Chain A
């Protein structure tokens, strides 16, 4: 049928149909519409089913389309109503070398269809992602950074636990691994602050599994604008960790400047504020016998440019306060060699790269004089010799060294420590160090004029202004420290000396000292050898010449016993720490004198009246004869061992002689022949 015929017949039929017959076509249309809609919905349903059942393939296709240089292995992607898309086992690899860049255990996307229209997602959650950042990652990422993708936004991005490994940026660039978490409520304002918390941050050099830097906890504060466009990190707070200053760090700094590496993404990044708290720093020394130098850094650095650490920040002087620096014995990690209560370092990063420090101020250092100090010094000396033959890098230099409130502590082979009664100060310019582990100082430490009380020793000393020669490490064969200290006055218990001096020589075996001074109108001199052994044994000897006995006995036994005349004496003693074990000595008077036992006056005054006159008179005569004695010659000897011993005193004069023997018993035991009467 032709079209014109069909039209005419149709027009005819319509004009000839009844009203009932006119309803039928309308129903037919409705039916057709319903069928059409049903088909459409069916098709949509089928499409939806197909889509939801092939989300994995779709995701692979999307990744392939957006990252053509990468392959994606996706275990499972499924849609979980309402508006939640979940992916499991997402692995992104380099198509060429197969390196894994991202391994996501699980991830979810929460969205609303209205948000999709505005190119916005509700929440993106990453579950245990493992991210490897290498230069190849930047090759597979689409050029232009966040062009199209940046137009999408998410209201919240969450990750409870991520592992990030950054490596492969060159032989001198460190590998950095970390674990991190974040929960970003993505604001509309790109300048709103965001925080990323990282922990267990480890940096190591290629080929060396030992990390030279470990940061316990790091908090990064930044803005979206800072990250995406300005390359600006507002703040980094480091809380705890350790840094090993050694070959690894040197290797990192010896590489070409970051700015000269065009592929380096860190080229233009800036950290506005770097806050380091509790970062332990250890100077590396691989020798078995080398001592560890460690200290803590608590400091704040500002405007750090990652790309121009040496040049941009290089000129800006930084200040670091280090607390409780301890240099330990190369042989005994529990024995200190040098401790410094506080150290203030002034340096520039540029200077550090050239082994230069602008200044060091050391407060309250303690030099622990003991065998370990000399081992350490020998070790350092040998190292200097080794360095000269095979030099590696320029020596460290310090522009200005100041030392304040220094102390010398005498350490024995055991745990006993004895502080010396002096403080020292120093200010030295331009010191060369071969490295921070082997200080090389040669200076004179000033000893201030001051009075110092040492209650535990019952000692009070007034030092004269002087200096203490100090060479560290010692030059050539002089492996000792020599110093001479002068005192205006020394008081030990009730004994005093004036214009005294003390000279000591230290070596690995111990400390040998000599001293002298005026005391009781005579001169007293002596010496001691303090041995670096367990229990701090020491021996000493003391001799006096022309000491005024009257003054001396007035101090020893006031009112009770007195002798007069000049005296020469010599004492030897053997002791452990503060416990004197043995004393031996002898003494002789040089001129006639008089002895008076004043204590007997008490007996004389208390002779009982009830006694007979004869008895009273006899006692009086005997006591007076005993009490006073003029002698022309007097002398004696003594020895005591552990609270027991004998003191013998013999006097000869025109009226006879007196011989006294005082036997001191530690107990009432009759054992011991030495106690027996001759």
Chain B
């Protein structure tokens, strides 16, 4: 009997004690603000093909010109990475021999570009009754003048040789 009374007393006391206590505080804040890093890529596609079609139809651009336009971005990417440069013969030259598929792709793209450029220069030579080397020199000069700062170009050195240098600004 006494044991039962004792149990009831203890339980009552415990309840009284628990009732007098406040709830515990849980701190959810961090010592420093939460940093969120977001990396996002947004692909924007131009569905307005009418313009391109009109241009292609209006101009006497050959297939080679169309092909060159298609690979322009790749070549610009190569130039930005200084993988290729504008040579003194009006052609692109691979300056860094990248191994693997990436290197193959660079070489293949540059070879295709050079093939189209050579066809273009032959046509200019025939139209203007000029020698091909002269046209190549003119085109090389034009390409190098149009190169952006930092892109590789092949220029003559004071020693009479040709060297590859990044194009400097004005």
Q: Is there contact, CB below 8 Å, between A672 and B38?
A: no
Q: Which residues of A contact B80 (CB under 8 A)?
A: 584, 639
B63 shortest CB reach to chain A, Å: 15
Does more than half of chain B's interface fall in helix, strand or loop, or is it mixed?
Answer: mixed
Q: Which residues of A contact B52 (CB under 8 A)?
A: 666-667
Q: Which residues of A contact B15 (CB under 8 A)?
A: none
Instruction: Report the number of A-B residue pairs with Cβ-Cβ less than 8 Å.
Output: 108
Q: Is there contact, CB below 8 Å, between B41 and A663?
A: yes
How many residues on the A side are at the interface (Cβ–Cβ under 8 A)?
42
Chain B residue with Cβ nearest A576 = B146
Q: Is there contact, CB below 8 Å, between A672 and B74?
A: yes
Answer yes or no: A642 CB below 8 A from chain B CBs. yes
Answer yes or no: A657 CB below 8 A from chain B CBs. yes
B73 shortest CB reach to chain A, Å: 5
Q: Which residues of A contact B41 (CB under 8 A)?
A: 660-663, 677
Q: Is there contact, CB below 8 Å, between B45 and A582?
A: no
Answer yes or no: B57 CB below 8 A from chain A CBs. no
Tell me whether A642 and B40 are in contact in the complex, defined as CB-CB below 8 angstroms, given that A531-B142, A539-B146, A674-B77 are known contacts: no
Q: Is there contact, CB below 8 Å, between A642 and B72?
A: yes
Q: Is there contact, CB below 8 Å, between B37 and A657?
A: yes
Q: Which residues of A contact B34 (CB under 8 A)?
A: 655
Q: Is there contact, CB below 8 Å, between A659 and B39?
A: yes
Answer yes or no: B20 CB below 8 A from chain A CBs. no
Answer yes or no: A665 CB below 8 A from chain B CBs. yes
Answer yes or no: B71 CB below 8 A from chain A CBs. yes
Q: Is there contact, CB below 8 Å, between B142 and A673?
A: no
Answer yes or no: B23 CB below 8 A from chain A CBs. no
Q: Is there contact, CB below 8 Å, between B169 and A626?
A: no
Q: Mark B21-43, 1 if CB is under 8 A from A, else 0.
A: 00000000000011111111111
Q: Which residues of B contact A662 (CB under 8 A)?
A: 41-42, 44
Q: Which residues of A contact B69 (CB under 8 A)?
A: 642
B111 shortest CB reach to chain A, Å: 15
How many residues on the B side are at the interface (Cβ–Cβ under 8 A)?
35
Chain A residue with Cβ nearest B124 = A534
Q: Which residues of B contact A544 (CB under 8 A)?
A: none
Q: Is there contact, CB below 8 Å, between A641 and B40?
A: no
Bound state CA distance, A664 and B145, in angstroms?
26
Answer yes or no: A671 CB below 8 A from chain B CBs. yes
Bound state CA distance, A531 and B138, in angstroms?
12
Answer yes or no: B105 CB below 8 A from chain A CBs. yes
Answer yes or no: B46 CB below 8 A from chain A CBs. yes
Answer yes or no: B164 CB below 8 A from chain A CBs. no
Q: Is there contact, CB below 8 Å, between B73 and A644?
A: yes
Bound state CA distance, A126 and B153, in angstroms?
82
Answer yes or no: B126 CB below 8 A from chain A CBs. no
Q: Which residues of B contact A529 (CB under 8 A)?
A: 145
Q: Is there contact, CB below 8 Å, between A672 and B71?
A: yes
* Docked complex: A637-666 residues within 8 A CB-CB of B: 639, 641-645, 654-666
Q: Which residues of A contact B102 (CB under 8 A)?
A: 673
Q: Is there contact, CB below 8 Å, between B148 and A667?
A: no
Q: Give me 8 other A-B pairs in contact (C-beta within 8 A), A663-B43, A672-B71, A673-B102 excluded.
A: A541-B149, A639-B80, A642-B69, A645-B73, A665-B43, A667-B52, A674-B76, A675-B73
29 sample A-B contacts, Cβ–Cβ < 8 Å, listed by A number = A539-B145, A539-B148, A541-B149, A574-B146, A582-B72, A582-B148, A625-B36, A625-B38, A639-B80, A642-B69, A643-B46, A645-B76, A655-B34, A655-B36, A657-B37, A658-B38, A658-B40, A659-B38, A660-B40, A662-B44, A663-B41, A663-B42, A663-B43, A668-B45, A668-B47, A672-B71, A672-B73, A672-B74, A673-B74
- B residues with a Cβ closer than 8 A to A are 33-47, 49, 52, 69-74, 76-77, 80, 102, 105, 142, 145-146, 148-149, 169-170
Cβ-closest 3 pairs across A and B: A656-B35, A674-B77, A659-B39
